[in-house]
Amino acid sequence: MNDVAEVVPGPLALSEVAATLRELRATSARRGKVQALAALLRRTSPEEVEALVGLLLGRPRQGRIGLGWRTMGAAREAAPAATDATLTVAEVDDTLDSIAGLSGAGSSTARAGLVAAVLGRATEEERDLITGAVLGDVRTGALDGVLTDALASAVDLPAAHVRRAVMLTGDLGRTAAMALRDPASLAAVNLTVGVPVQPMLASTAADVTEALAITGPASVEHKLDGARIQVHRNRADVRVFTRSLADITGRMPEIVTFALGLDADGFILDGETLLLDEGGTPRPFQETMSRFGRQDERTDVLAPRFFDLLALDGVDVTDRPLTERRELLRALVGSAHVIAGTVTEDATEAAQVLEDALAAGHEGVLVKGVDSTYAAGRRGKAWVKVKPVHTYDLVVLAAEWGYGRRTGWLSNLHLGARDPDGGFVMVGKTFKGLTDELLRWQTQTFLSYAVRETPGVVWLRPEIVVEIAVDGVQRSSRYPGGVALRFARVKGYRPDKAASEADTIETIRALLRE
């Protein structure tokens, strides 16, 4: 076995991480990214690697600690960047620990002081790294899957073994620490009720015909517009986790009661929860999320609907075919609590399932290979989602100056729909779908349309039309029109269209009514 990961020279310098990120951004090939990250991991100690993984993924291990763009920007302006690179990953992690521990009167001032101190010791490139990591905007193209494969390479283990360990621990950083200490220890990682499992995700297809061509015979299931949950029960102990593996048991009393009523002492369920109206139709997504996030007294009851079973009475079933897992699931929770679906390889039949799902108020369908096992992440094409994508022609009202690798470019767009009575109504923001070419074009073009500038934002004459794809809209009190775009991304600019031809706010609201 390769033991190179056991020989680690001194504390890991933050400049080494920044240099690796620079290499990742210059590398389009997945193999090149894996090699660069594997080299970095080999230079990292088990004690540092959880902090390193958090920085690389833009998810510091401390979680959300009250740092936003204003605080980070003010700290950067307070003092010039350092000329010499002296910071280590451990020192940055210690600072984030200190910030996470602050609360009460004076905590905002203390937080700003700690941020200013660490950024004052950072070079410009290191400042970009820290800022991007804290704000969740590292942008390297090296997401969890690439870093997982890099870890496998660093410790000379098959990638499938490492991926499974990451799935079962639910934590890439913790798995990396185990692997760097003793690669053989990953073989002992088992599915454990009460320990959240990284969820299996789906790739996308334009229609059910394309999806079936990928999966072959499949279970075509309604894709609900709810909040994903993972429910664990070990005798009288029930835990409910979110898609991001946060423990929300205390906010889900109805789900706990449901789980305790099932005829089994131990299980792990994967599914969704949502609010339904009296006729069983899903209520708007934002209403579900509002109830999902509320910790005070609740009157609305969330309905659980499940699509998979990972463990049952001490037996790990993740390696069994989907059809067998679905049979066990139905026997456990009852058909009424299993998300509707049909096993087929016929595109016409699958299209009917999609039509039925949309008519019932759901998002679309998931097409899942009948023999697929349960594996975390989007690797492979075992699960494929199909849902309508809506596009709108909107007007750019403003753009925000970027940071990190987008420093110097106008990036995040403020989007407006046309008001038939005059003017434009803001309906959301997005920086998704912007290539480097588009960022350069925006920066060169938008300034000639500028009418004023506020801190970080350039406001434009409402003349530039952009085509935006969205998964839907939701009610929102944040914007004057009362609606906000969901998962908006840029398809392209429309120089052929005048602002007077942009879609109206009523058109956007119509999708909400649908």
Residue type, 77: E
Residue 417 backbone class (left: φ over 0; alpha: ψ -120 to 50; beta: rest) = beta
State the Cα–Cα distance between residues 437 and 31, nearest whole angstrom.
24
Helices (H), 294-389: 322-333, 347-359
**Contact 453/461 with Cβ under 8 angstroms?**
no
Nearest of 277, 297, 295, 275 to residue 286 by alpha carbon: 275
The partner residues of 467 in beta bridges, in order of sequence, read 393, 492
Show the tokens assigned to 67: 């740092």
Rounded CA separation 293/287 (Å) = 10
Identify whether the C-beta of residue 155 lies closer than 8 Å to the C-beta of residue 184. no
Phi, psi of 87 (to 5 degrees): -70, 150
Name the packing angle between helices 14-25 and 30-42 (round to 10°): 170
Residue 473: beta bridge partners? 485
Phi, psi of 247 (to 5 degrees): -80, 115
Q: Is 87 helix (H, G, I), strand (E, B) or coil?
A: coil
Q: Establish how many alpha carbons lie within 13 A of residue 27's alpha carbon, considering only the half-sphere containing its beta carbon.
A: 18
**What single DSSP character describes residue 6?**
G
Q: Is 368 a catalytic residue?
A: no
Strand partners, 403: none
Q: Which two tokens stand for residue 473?
A: 């809209």
Q: Measured between alpha carbons, how far is 14 from 20 in angstroms, rounded to an integer? A: 10
Q: How is residue 481 annotated by DSSP?
A: T
Among 223, 368, 387, 429, the one annotated catalytic: 223
Pick the closest to residue 199 from 230, 224, 226 (CA basis). Answer: 230
Distance, CA of 256 to CA of 261 (rounded, Å) = 9
The catalytic residue positions are: 223
